[in-house]
Amino acid sequence: MKMLINVPETVVADALRGIAAAHPELTVDVENRVVVRRDAPVAGKVGLVSGGGSGHEPLHAGFVGPGMLSAACPGEVFTSPVPDQMVRAAAAVDSGAGVLFVVKNYTGDVLNFEMAAELAEDEGIQVAQVVVDDDVAVSDSTFTAGRRGTGATLFVEKIAGAAADEGAPLDRVVSVARQVNGSSRSFGVALSSVTTPAKGSPTFDLPAGELELGIGIHGEPGRERRPMMTSGEIADFAVDAVLEDLRPTGPVLALVNGMGATPLLELYGFNAEVQRVLTERGVPVARTLVGNYVTSLDMTGCSVTLCQIDEELLRLWDAPVETPALRWGR
């Protein structure tokens, strides 16, 4: 496989050096693998820290900045960051108002963030945690006890980040994050496998002419394989899987997300089908975001995330944000 890298061992460090060069508004510690908004800590503001394995860009470092994350901790590709990274990040953003860890539900991430929270507490930093577990495809899978954390991570980080920037106390920011997670569901589809730099070849076999329904963002197995389907058929299946579990009674936020190698031309076409299905099912859509946001390296595919919202959550979603990957209202 051809890759735009030097050697697999330096992929994450090289990317962090590139982020630092492109975004002087961020403080990037390449050696210790921590990305922090340059104005941190902000007096009186709850710090938001997230992180996870690299390979899901722009998640998480691309969401560091005003209105969203205070810091991010990138691990090696598809590998959890270590507790020392998280403690460094917490210390860098703590203003005395506390820190919220946003954690995707993968076993390594959960264990390491729990350990980091204990270490940070020993240093006098008040830490709370919210675990994101929005994927309806499977109840347990590789790397996970319970549902996987996927697209809803973006919703949690944006909406909780807006609450924190407004000066909300830690318990309120935690409550908002939990409300968003509890109101969100996701479903992903793979049209091709994913190739990690270390392996240099596809991590699983997906024959030509087939797709996998319910795939995870690390290439974990989904619900089933089927012959290739049209965009409309995939939208019917994915949206119905989400609605069957979420059962919204009001308007939703919709994220139509690419897995890394799906062109925007196809994603916008898929979004048209997603909107069709939601209209047919009587679900009003308040806002839609389309693009590659929670990715899986070079996987071709897509995911749908819906979040039922109220007026307050919508207000926080619309609040200004200024990060490398998400920005509006400023």
**Tokens matching residue 109:** 């991430």
Q: Using CA atoms, how far apart are residues 57 and 200, in angstroms rounded to an integer?
A: 19
User: In degrees rounded to 5, what are phi and psi of residue 211?
Assistant: -135, 165
Q: Using CA atoms, how far apart are residues 270 and 237, in angstroms rounded to an integer?
A: 12
Cis preceding-peptide flag for 197 (omega within 30 of 0): no
Q: Using CA atoms, how far apart are residues 225 and 211, in angstroms rounded to an integer?
A: 6
Q: Using CA atoms, how far apart are residues 280 and 303, in angstroms rounded to an integer?
A: 19
Q: Using CA atoms, how far apart are residues 84 and 87, in angstroms rounded to an integer?
A: 5
Long-range contacts of 168-175 (CB under 8 A, 24+ apart): 168/46, 169/46, 169/97, 169/98, 170/46, 170/97, 170/98, 170/99, 170/100, 170/126, 170/128, 171/128, 173/46, 173/48, 173/100, 173/128, 174/100, 174/128, 174/130
C-alpha angle 232-233-237 in degrees, rounded to nearest 5? 115
285 Ramachandran zone, left/alpha/beta (phi>0; psi -120 to 50): beta
For the beta carbon of residue 5, count every other beta carbon within 10 angstroms: 13
Active-site residue 56, yes or no? Answer: yes
Helices first, then strands: H and E counts in the chain: 8, 14
Q: Tell me which of 192, 218, 254, 260 is the catalytic residue.
A: 218
Q: Tell me which of 23, 37, 45, 56 is the catalytic residue.
A: 56
C-alpha angle 330-256-228 in degrees, rounded to nearest 5? 160
Active-site residue 60, yes or no? Answer: no
Task: Select from 227, 230, 204 the least CA-distant residue to 215.
Answer: 204
Rounded (10°) CA dihedral 142, 148, 151, 157: -120
Would you name the residues annotated as active-site residues? 56, 218
